Chain A
Amino acid sequence: KAGVTQTPRYLIKTRGQQVTLSCSPISGHRSVSWYQQTPGQGLQFLFEYFSETQRNKGNFPGRFSGRQFSNSRSEMNVSTLELGDSALYLCASSFTGTHEQYFGPGTRLTVT
Chain B
Amino acid sequence: QKEVEQNSGPLSVPEGAIASLNCTYSDRGSQSFFWYRQYSGKSPELIMFIYSNGDKEDGRFTAQLNKASQYVSLLIRDSQPSDSATYLCARGTGNQFYFGTGTSLTVIP
Residues of A participating in the B interface, judged by any CB pair closer than 8 Å = 31, 33, 35, 42-43, 45, 48, 50, 55-56, 88, 90, 92, 96-106
Question: B43 near A103 (CB under 8 angstroms)?
Answer: yes
Question: B92 near A98 (CB under 8 angstroms)?
Answer: yes
- B44 contacts partner chain A, Cβ-Cβ < 8 Å: yes
Contact A106 to B43, CB < 8 A, known contacts A45-B98, A50-B95, A101-B97: yes
Tally of chain B residues near chain A (CB < 8 A): 21
Within 8 A of A (CB), among B36-81: 36, 42-46, 49
Question: B45 near A103 (CB under 8 angstroms)?
Answer: yes
Question: A56 near B46 (CB under 8 angstroms)?
Answer: no
B31: which A residues are within 8 A, CB to CB?
98
B98: which A residues are within 8 A, CB to CB?
45
Partner of B49, one of A42, A43, A45, A100: A100
A46 to B99 CA separation, bound complex (whole angstroms): 12
